[in-house]
Structure formats: structure tokens, C-alpha cells
């Protein structure tokens, strides 16, 4: 069953890197280029840009001629403000027939020059971090279809990458599967979704139910996780996702060797066994059969032999597959899914 999204961003994309100070500043564009290369026809870099996605450099005019439908703001600039020079680029893109999509906290619709010109030209502005519709509260009612939710010991440990890797592997095997985006980068990769961190707390579970509706019995929704039940800042979002997704199975995402919870130097990472147990206990409110079936590790900071030993040790200790989606792939997880 197709999902009617609150936004449906048209591609091909032209990825705007602005004057990004480094590659990390362009992480949104980097994620889109990595997972949807066939949607990206080029990158637009301004003077002083130190990021490079390896895509063809294009002017707005070249991109429009090549068929670009949307200019994606794939960079966060210093101070989080949209510079006047960026707005000039946006207005010209609108003039050339492109829509604009952004995952910044600053809203495109709050920029008078951009908003007025978009209205004049009949173009769309997508502030993907900000939901474009209202949601009902969650009901917890069982609905057909299967769901997998990635949960984490912490923030930024690979929940989106794991979900996308699972979608790719499952579709390659001919399985029915769809990635359901719950964050701004994921929405730009999927072309639709709900940024749940911008949803009022009472409606997070309802928004997730809406995002992952009733489906065919053999269809899998791969719901992108957010935060961690053990993170003092973001546990509320994680709980809402657990209840709304009603996952049949979960994959625990983890970065071995991380010294503390992201942004909280005084708080160590939770014990993995405790994290598995709490996620299962909380998920049982809306799906009593929910269980963690695998561990996905982000071992990017490890040497290959160290990563292999670490994953083998975790697999043995917890009696479930342990993979790195980028190093080993996720085939061992998909083998467990009907």
C-alpha cells in the first residue's frame, strides 16, 4: 500500500553545499548523495566551500537545463542562519522552475523574499523538519503489516543507516519493504516522512501510526529510530516512536567505545543487556511480542580486525547477529525476517 505523504519532494535534486566549512557541515547532503545517488544530478558550491560530494559541480542554470526539480539545502552554515547570499541562490532557483527543500530549523517560509517569490512563481517550499499537517493521538490498535524499528544505546549511532541498508537488502531479495523516515535527512532521502522531533509530544505515537499504516501482511515498514530511551534529552521521542511503530522486531544500534552519551559528558552509555530489556519492555505496551533480534554497530572508528573481534564478541554474548551495515552488510539480519 502506498503512503500518502505530508510532503512529496520531487527529484532529481541539486544539492546545495553553500560555503560549508567542512564535510561534516554538509552531512545532510552527504546522506542524500550516499543513499539516493540516482536522484542527485549535481552539487552547487559557493566560494569558500570545503565540502565535496563527488558529484558534478553545476550552476543553477546548468542544473535546470539538466532537469533538476528541487534545490536541496544540504548544509548547515555557521550560526544556523541563512545568509543573504543563500537567499539570492534560492530566489534564482525558484525563477528557474525548481522547488526548494530544507531541513534547517530556520524555515524557508519565514524568509520574506523567498516565500513571496515562491508564491509568485507557484513553486513549493519544503521545510521538512516542520510537519505540514496535524496528527491524531496514538490509539495502540493493532494494524496489519510488519514493522521493524531501529533503537539505540545513544543518539547518532547509525539508526538511519541501518534502516536504509535493510531496505536496500530486502528489496534486492524481492521482499516488500519501505523505509519510513522520521528525521529531516531521512525525509530528503525518502522523499517523504515526518520529522517526529518537531511533533508535539502528545502526538508522536499518533504521527508514527500514520507514517506506518495498515499494509499487506508480508510488507515490512522499516521505521527510522530517533534518540535513545537512555538519553536524558531525547528519550521522549524514542518512547513515542516505540509505541506508535508497534514494532514486531527491533535492531539495537550501538557505537562501541563511545566514551559517554552524545552531548552529555557526565552520562556513560547504558549496558547493552539493560538497553535491550528496557526497549522490549516499553514496546510491549502496543505489541506484546516485540523483541530485539540483532545488534548493528557503527565501527567506523575501529581498525578492521578490532571491529571484527568486537562484533563477534557481542554476537556471542547476546546470542544474536551483530553486524556493521557499512562493513559487513545486513544480510544476517534479513535472514531472520519472514
Domain membership of residue 7 (yes or no) is no
How many Å apart are CA 285 and CA 134, to the nearest integer?
24
Across the range 285-303, mean pLDDT stands at 97
Q: How many domains, the chain?
A: 2
> Which range marks the domain in which residue 111 is found?
13-127
Instruction: Using pLDDT thresholds of 50, 70 and 90, give the confidence band for residue 3.
Output: very low
Domain membership of residue 136 (yes or no) is no
Residue 38 has pLDDT above 60, yes or no: yes
Domain membership of residue 137 (yes or no) is no
Which residues in 262-271 are b (16+ Cβ under 10 Å) and which e? beeeeeebbe
Domain membership of residue 62 (yes or no) is yes
Are 101 and 186 in a shared domain? no
The reported pLDDT for the residue numbered 5 is 44
Domain membership of residue 134 (yes or no) is no
Does residue 33 contact residue 15 with C-beta atoms inside 8 Å? Answer: yes
- The number of residues in the chain equals 338
Domain membership of residue 294 (yes or no) is yes
Across the range 158-165, mean pLDDT stands at 97
Which CATH number is 176's domain given?
3.40.50.300
Are 330 and 216 in a shared domain? yes
| pTM for the predicted model, two decimal places | 0.89
Are 294 and 232 in a shared domain? yes
pLDDT tens-digit profile of 172-207?
Answer: 999 999 999 999 999 999 988 999 988 999 999 999
Residue 329 has pLDDT above 60, yes or no: yes
Domain membership of residue 139 (yes or no) is no
Quick one: what percent of the chain has pLDDT higher than 90? 86
Across the range 157-167, mean pLDDT stands at 97
pLDDT tens-digit profile of 213-232?
Answer: 999 999 999 999 999 999 99
Domain membership of residue 168 (yes or no) is yes
Domain end point (choices 98, 127, 156)? 127
Residue 4 has pLDDT above 70, yes or no: no
pLDDT tens-digit profile of 282-293?
Answer: 999 999 999 999
Are 203 and 327 in a shared domain? yes
Q: What is the DSSP string of 145-203?
A: SEEEEEEESSSSSSHHHHHHHHHHHHHHTT-EEEEE--SHHHHHHHS----GGGS-GGG
Residue 6 has pLDDT above 80, yes or no: no
Highest mean pLDDT of the ranges 4-8, 106-110, 192-196, 309-313: 309-313
How many Å apart are CA 264 and CA 259, to the nearest integer?
10
Are 185 and 114 in a shared domain? no
Are 188 and 99 in a shared domain? no
Domain end point (choices 100, 127, 154)? 127
Are 181 and 287 in a shared domain? yes
Are 81 and 193 in a shared domain? no
Are 152 and 123 in a shared domain? no
Which CATH number is 48's domain given?
3.40.50.720
The reported pLDDT for the residue numbered 82 is 80
Instruction: Using pLDDT thresholds of 50, 70 and 90, give the confidence band for residue 269.
Output: very high
Are 60 and 103 in a shared domain? yes
Residue 80 has pLDDT above 80, yes or no: no
Residue 7 has pLDDT above 80, yes or no: no
Amino acid at each position: 500500500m502506498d503512503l500518502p505523504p505530508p510532503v512529496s519532494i520531487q527529484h532529481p535534486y541539486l544539492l546545495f553545499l553553500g560555503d560549508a566549512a567542512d564535510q561534516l557541515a554538509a552531512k545532510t547532503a552527504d546522506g542524500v548523495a550516499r543513499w539516493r545517488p540516482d536522484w542527485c544530478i549535481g552539487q552547487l558550491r559557493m566560494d569558500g566551500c570545503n565540502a565535496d560530494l563527488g558529484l558534478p559541480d553545476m550552476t543553477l542554470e546548468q542544473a535546470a537545463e539538466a532537469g533538476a526539480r528541487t534545490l536541496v539545502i544540504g548544509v548547515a552554515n555557521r550560526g544556523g542562519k541563512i545568509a543573504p547570499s543563500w537567499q539570492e541562490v534560492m530566489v534564482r532557483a525558484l525563477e528557474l522552475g525548481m522547488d526548494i527543500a530544507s531541513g534547517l530549523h530556520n524555515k524557508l517560509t519565514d524568509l520574506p523574499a523567498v516565500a513571496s517569490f515562491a508564491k509568485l512563481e507557484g513553486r513549493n517550499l519544503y521545510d521538512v523538519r516542520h510537519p505540514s499537517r496535524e496528527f491524531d493521538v496514538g490509539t495502540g490498535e493493532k494494524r496489519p503489516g510488519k514493522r521493524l524499528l531501529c533503537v539505540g544505546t545513544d543518539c547518532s549511532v547509525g539508526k538511519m543507516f541501518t534502516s536504509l541498508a535493510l531496505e536496500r537488502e530486502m528489496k534486492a531479495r524481492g521482499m516488500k519493504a519501505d523505509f519510513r523516515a522520521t528525521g529531516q535527512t531521512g525525509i530528503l532521502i525518502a522523499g517523504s516522512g515526518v520529522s517526529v522531533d518537531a511533533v508535539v509530544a502528545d502526538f508522536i505515537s499518533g504521527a508514527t501510526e500514520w507514517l506506518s499504516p495498515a499494509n499487506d501482511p508480508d510488507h515490512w515498514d522499516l521505521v527510522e529510530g530517533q534518540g535513545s530511551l537512555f538519553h536524558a534529552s531525547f528519550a521522549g521521542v524514542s518512547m513515542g516512536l516505540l509505541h506508535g511503530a508497534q514494532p514486531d522486531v527491533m535492531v539495537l544500534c550501538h557505537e562501541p567505545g563511545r566514551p559517554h552519551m552524545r552531548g552529555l559528558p557526565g552520562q556513560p552509555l547504558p549496558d547493552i543487556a539493560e538497553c535491550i530489556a528496557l526497549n522490549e519492555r516499553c514496546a510491549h505496551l502496543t505489541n506484546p511480542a516485540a523483541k530485539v533480534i540483532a545488534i548493528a554497530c557503527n565501527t567506523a572508528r575501529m581498525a578492521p580486525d578490532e571491529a571484527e573481534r568486537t562484533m563477534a564478541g557481542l554476537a556471542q554474548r547476546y546470542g544474536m547477529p551483530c553486524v556493521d551495515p557499512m562493513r559487513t552488510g545486513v544480510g544476517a539480519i534479513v535472514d531472520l525476517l519472514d
